[in-house]
């Protein structure tokens, strides 16, 4: 496979991941952090870093809008729930296991 084909496939898979996360708003970022050690905000930071590497001016809010499909404040108001005690404990265990 040539590099252009690889880039096209990676981009398509990334777009599908973003679409999937946008459709599944019931999946909270803390759940993603516990299970996969990344979340929508991580994706936004990686997206912003990729833009910066290519000389594209983009701030964190712009990157989060790409990932969330709307301004983060709107997503947070509509879909974000308070983390439960169990989620916070699981996240703390996850962080401890990394050290």
Query: In the structure, what pLDDT confidence band is assigned to residue 98 with cuts at 50, 70 and 90?
Result: confident
Which residue is it, tokens 């404040």?
Answer: 73
38-51 pLDDT tens trace: 999 999 999 999 99
pLDDT tens, 18-37? 999 999 999 999 999 999 99
DSSP designation for 80: -
Give the C-alpha distances (Å, rounded to integers) separating 60 from 34, 64, 67.
23, 6, 11
Exposed/middle/buried for 11, CB within 10 Å: 0-12, 13-18, 19+? Answer: exposed
């Amino acid at each position: 496979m040539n590099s252009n084909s690889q880039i096209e496939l990676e981009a398509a898979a990334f777009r599908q991941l973003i679409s999937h996360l946008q459709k599944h708003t019931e999946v909270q970022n803390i759940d993603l952090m516990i299970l996969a050690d990344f979340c929508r905000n991580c994706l936004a930071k990686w997206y912003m870093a990729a833009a910066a590497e290519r000389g594209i001016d983009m701030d964190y809010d712009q990157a989060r809008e790409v990932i969330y499909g709307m301004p983060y404040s709107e997503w947070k108001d509509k879909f974000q729930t308070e983390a439960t005690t169990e989620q916070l404990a699981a996240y703390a265990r996850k962080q401890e296991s990394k050290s």
